[in-house]
Amino acid sequence: MRILFLGDIVGQPGRSIVAARLPGLLEQYRPDLIIANAENVANGRGITPKLAEQLFDAQIDILTMGNHVWDNREIFGYIEHDRRIVRPANFPPGVPGIGYTLVKIGVLQVAVVNLIGRVFMGDYDSPFAAIDRILAEIEPRTKHVFVDFHAEATSEKLAFAHYVDGRVSAVIGTHTHVQTADEQILPGGTAYLTDVGMCGPVNGIIGIKKEQVLQRFLTQMPVRFDVETGPAMLNAVVVDLTDKGTASSVTRISLR
């Protein structure tokens, strides 16, 4: 089984490069499941129902989220009813939506899990406890488990990956928007990449206009952030899974 995962799609430049390059990637890699992190798809801030539908129409099967999921109120109701969008499972109880979803691929099922880190992020529940709970729930149904770990700190991402090594198929990091070059298969068989990188503008600072980010750093005053315009890049990863649910390969993709 082959999974294609697209990194954080950021605003119009991200949407454009995904629309332009995804068909070629589908032809080249022929994935069974296409997942994308889409928490920055609406001008860098959250997602709307309309944009979610556009991504589903572009053949993306599942959308994962992160700290920006609630930036557009219209998504609150939508996320309750569409099981193709998953928001972090370790958000506090009572929030809309689901933290993982099961997808049928032929005779197999794949669980797609979204978790959020806590280091430099926010006061969320433990992602370690959350994955234990989820794995206990899905264990009778599947060993194929893909995790989008949306987090800032490399150490937290790698620690989490080792915690679940051999218990999930892949832990792929999102949120920093910068692709790392540490793809590996851990000793227990879990594919790992600290951060897949974004689908978004090449210029700017992690997708945002650089003048605005610099002004924030230089003055420490509140500054409105807008997505950078101009050329875009597409960052993604392809993970191949065995029938046992372990990973047999992990391949980074970076297109400009």
Residues engaged in binding Fe ion (CB under 5 A): 66-67, 175
Crossing angle (nearest 10°) for helices 49-57 and 11-29: 20
Nearer to Fe ion, 10 or 164 (CB): 10
Nearer to Fe ion, 15 or 175 (CB): 175
- Check if 68 is active-site: yes
Listed in sequence order, the residues at least 6 apart from 249 whose beta carbon sits closer than 8 Å to its beta carbon are: 185, 191, 238, 239, 240
| Residue 94, burial from CB neighbour count under 10 angstroms (0-12, 13-18, 19+) | exposed
Could you tell me the smallest distance in angstroms from the CB atom of residue 178 to Fe ion?
12
Nearer to Fe ion, 31 or 66 (CB): 66
The active-site residue out of 68, 144, 150, 177 is 68
Considering only CA atoms, give the Rg of the chain: 17
At 141, phi and psi to the nearest 5?
-105, -30
Which residue blocks in the chain are alpha helix, DSSP H?
11-29, 49-57, 75-81, 127-138, 154-164, 210-219
Could you tell me the smallest distance in angstroms from the CB atom of residue 67 to Fe ion?
5
Token code pair at residue 171: 């832990």
Nearer to Fe ion, 87 or 144 (CB): 87
CB neighbourhood size of 175 (10 A): 28
Could you tell me the smallest distance in angstroms from the CB atom of residue 199 to Fe ion?
14
SS3 (DSSP) at 170:
strand
Could you tell me the smallest distance in angstroms from the CB atom of residue 152 to Fe ion?
8
Catalytic residues: 68
